[in-house]
Structure 1
């Protein structure tokens, strides 16, 4: 009974005099401020997904797009909230200063119902695999997006050069390898702030072209084809989710207690993400309609200098975001290799491992340079698992003795997991069919 009482207190996150406080025991080498943590969370979620907003709205129709963006943003923010809250509860029970994503899943099952405790290690491995798959996919998308932007500029201003996008992927390989040698989130936050600046500048330029001429509303769909709704949801989930970086950011904060609450790092970051995505998606769809591409910058005219600046800005923004996303990939690799390495070998292994990891991500991006489809696939499959299904299950398992009046926590999480599974199955089906159709056209 003592353990159960302590667990209920930890879920409510109300420290008592005798309760272990993980914040007092955290020793972070280079802690981040609230501003830097907010910048990292915004940049972790808001990248190429923001620019795919008009394409998402063309799949859903503008009314469904607005409502759907707000609902998905609320669900994604809530899933982040319950994951962090569960992690804090597990820290208090295990008397550990911090836990990462996979460790939180393992601890939740370890302290859950007796029949599920034997699955604690399997939960950890599944979470690690989901993280790795998700962020390798994100790094591939970023590789293709940067290369597409560079190719457009080169094709326009250097007419003698006509190279496929795969060659541009190879050209940015060395700069990405160098940038990914940055080790600490505190330093990566500086790149995130710079990337956010370029992203906001791109957002402003896009609005400049959107409102440059009269917008015609009459031919725009209020409600799109229901068969394309899964593609819309997949794109929005991709844009909203950055859950793989949530635990590293929260664990690296100088004042981690500021991550949750109202106002808090999470509330400010998610509000900014929903605002930017819904406005650009809505007005971008009003301007370009069904011609919207996987990144709105690819719809901008190539002859005007503001459009050229926007293409350069987004390429730089995604470039400076790349090491933040790659941080998750390498963090997993490092946790599994460090115990087997001598101290004098760790630095060389770090450098070599980062180079090999970037090369693998670029190679996958070269093999599948279908930007819109990769975005939908990563959003539908990987982010649905990582950002919706796992948090809903983990909170339910951890709070099995305290599910609230009428078991509202259980009912709420069943809805979240069902939404995640529906997004996963329907989104993957639609995206795979799109990829097959595109490949068939290329072979004809």
Structure 2
């Protein structure tokens, strides 16, 4: 569910508070360095103290969700990503991309906070942040303010549904490899069909706080699975010079798509920050976001580097598919990861359902709200199921959604928002802020156009 801010804007949260009920963060903060909207009466406005949350998440619960939101199928695809980039290029580029992704998230959250102060509202969603920023930015951008909302929503929905599709493919593919050892092999699409009802039931959980214990369980399972996987990686580790240090330039775009998909859980991270009990602790050098991203980036480099050294050019879309088929421990890893990814499906589905329900459906209904919400949740799962059945190409699907959605959502859009927030006279010495953001925009657009083209082309070729 959501809360309404003072402008009537829809934003992420858990549940609506009853009328007049307030729940303020106990975390005090100094806001005197920021200016409120011109002419606003009263003391400086702190959006964090005006959020109305019935079941906010703690710092620990938020960190758990961040780790689980990023430690999914992406980390298992990193050896395949390094196959496209080369060993050394992949290690260096993963660190750089991780830094850029984290920085852009900070830019987005910082800009969102400043706009909330100016508008004197507790929360702005990502689409509304873009709209308000464009309204206050350079004149030639202001005409795009209203159309930016459905554009950002479209990217968010597409990306999160893409993750859900990948999760279905991952779980079904790993379960099939194990099941084929003991029963008559059946098509992977049948395994997807078997998962359908449990996935629908899982998405009926409507509260992020209720999902926290499941995310914790999935984190434990994931780390156990990674540990066992790395046992096989180091058991069969080959010399480092047995694989190319630098990959083909064309394939580097596929590497970028896969890495962006793995690292940039922008929709989930924004929803988590908006739902925190102490949102001030999210940012900062030692905040929840940085702590989570440091762990994630290091793990991605570790798994990608040594996984590629071991499996080389045969590295598949998930490293679990490279493990021995006749070893019971290796087979158990596939089930472990399948369970962890299955548990995480509801968390990834939370974002598109919230956007569609609160922005486009709920305000058009007059009754039977709960019934229609459950219908939406069911239809959302059915859509991801149909897409997964139609395009069962795990590694290409990962690269496509990473390039198409996250180049824009995670890099280009935050840079555009900060330019608008700093307009007209806060760009720093020598306009370094605007120069930096223009470079980020160009980088994001290049990844979107080139990455999407190559990924779609490779998907088409794979069916021929």
TM more than 0.5: yes
What corresponds to 1:316 in structure 2?
A: 339
Preserved contact between residue 166 and residue 394 of structure 2 (Cα < 8 Å) = yes
Distance 2:149 2:427 in 1: 23
Whether the 8 Å CA contact 2:404–2:448 is kept in 1: the answer is yes
Query: Aligned-pair distance for 1:436?
Result: 2.4
Counterpart secondary structure, 1:157: coil
Q: Does structure 2 conserve the Cα–Cα contact (< 8 Å) formed by 1:7 and 1:93? A: no
Does structure 1 residue 9 correspond to structure 2 residue 34? yes
Match of 2:65 in 1: 40
Please report how far the alpha carbon of residue 218 of structure 1 lies from its aligned counterpart in structure 2 after TM superposition.
2.7
Query: How many angstroms apart in 2 are the aligned matches of 1:194 and 1:99?
Result: 31
Q: Which residue matches 1:407?
A: 431
Report 1:111-130 matches (<5 A): 111-130=136-155
Match of 1:378 in 2: 401
How many residues align? The count is 428
Closer/same/farther in 2, CA of residues 339 and 432 from structure 1, 3 Å limit:
closer
1:218 maps to which of 241, 246, 249: 241
Compute the displacement of 1:214 (Å): 4.5
Give 1:346's aligned residue.
Answer: 369
Per the normalisation by structure 2, the TM-score is 0.89
Equivalent position to 1:424, from 437, 448, 463: 448
Pair 20,39 (structure 1): closer, same or farther in 2 beyond 3 Å: same
Which digits, 9 at most, give the CA deviation of each residue in 1:228-284, with x for residues without a partner?
111111111111010011221111101000010021011011101101100000000
Conserved in 2, the CA contact under 8 Å of 1:393 and 1:413? yes
Q: Aligned equivalents of 2:47 and 2:438: distance in 1?
A: 30
Question: Stretches of 4+ moved more than 4 A in 1?
Answer: none
Match of 1:280 among 295, 303, 308: 303
| Deviation of the 1:190 alpha carbon | 1.8
d(CA) in 2 for partners of 1:98 and 1:429? 36
* Residue 98 (1) aligns with residue 120 (2): no
Residue equivalent to 2:99: 74
The one of 260, 268, 271 aligned to 2:283: 260
Going from structure 1 to structure 2, the CA distance change for 1:27 and 1:189 (only over 3 Å counts) comes to same
CA distance in 2: counterparts of 1:340 and 1:65, whole angstroms: 48
Query: Whole-Å Cα distance in 2 between the matches of residues 309 and 399 of structure 1?
Result: 52
Counterpart secondary structure, 2:307: helix
Contact 1:7 1:89 in 2 (8 A): no
The structure in which a higher percent of residues are helix is: 1
Match of 2:17 in 1: none
1:196 equivalent to 2:219? Answer yes
1:325 matched to 2:348? The reply is yes
The CA deviation at 1:377 is 0.3
CA gap of 1:65–1:10, structure 2 versus 1, over 3 A, is farther
- State which of 306, 309, 315 in structure 2 corresponds to 1:292: 315
Contact 2:237 2:306 in 1 (8 A): no
In the alignment, which residue of structure 2 is the partner of 1:54? 79
Counterpart of 1:392 (choices 415, 428, 431) is 415
Q: Superposed, which structure 2 residues align to 1:162-201 within 5 Å?
A: 162-201=185-224
- The 3-state SS of whatever aligns with 1:183 is coil
Partner of 1:364: 387
* 1:350 positional shift: 1.4
Provide structure 2 residue ranges, at least 5 long, that are not aligned to the other structure.
Answer: 1-30, 37-41
Q: Take 1:410 and 1:304, find their aligned partners in 2: how far apart are those partners?
A: 55
Displacement after TM superposition at 1:124 (Å): 1.4
Displacement of 1:301: 0.8
Equivalence for 1:18: 43
- Taking the aligned partners of 2:136 and 2:220, their CA distance within structure 1 comes to 43
Check the 8 A contact 2:136/2:423 in 1, yes or no: no
Alignment-derived partner of residue 14 in structure 2? none
The equivalent of 1:136 in structure 2 is 161
CA RMSD of superposed structures (Å) = 1.7
Q: Distance in 1 between matches of 2:237 and 2:216?
A: 34
> Structure 1 residues 58, 348: CA separation in 2 closer, same or farther (over 3 Å shift)?
same
Deviations 1:295-351 (A, max 9, x none): 000000122222122101110111111111100110111112112223x51111111
Question: Quick one: distance in 1 between partners of 2:71 and 2:430?
Answer: 37
Cα offset, 1:107, TM superposition: 1.4
User: Please, which runs of 5 or more residues in structure 1 have no aligned partner?
Assistant: 1-5, 12-16
Aligned to 1:87: 112
Residue of structure 1 equivalent to 2:8: none
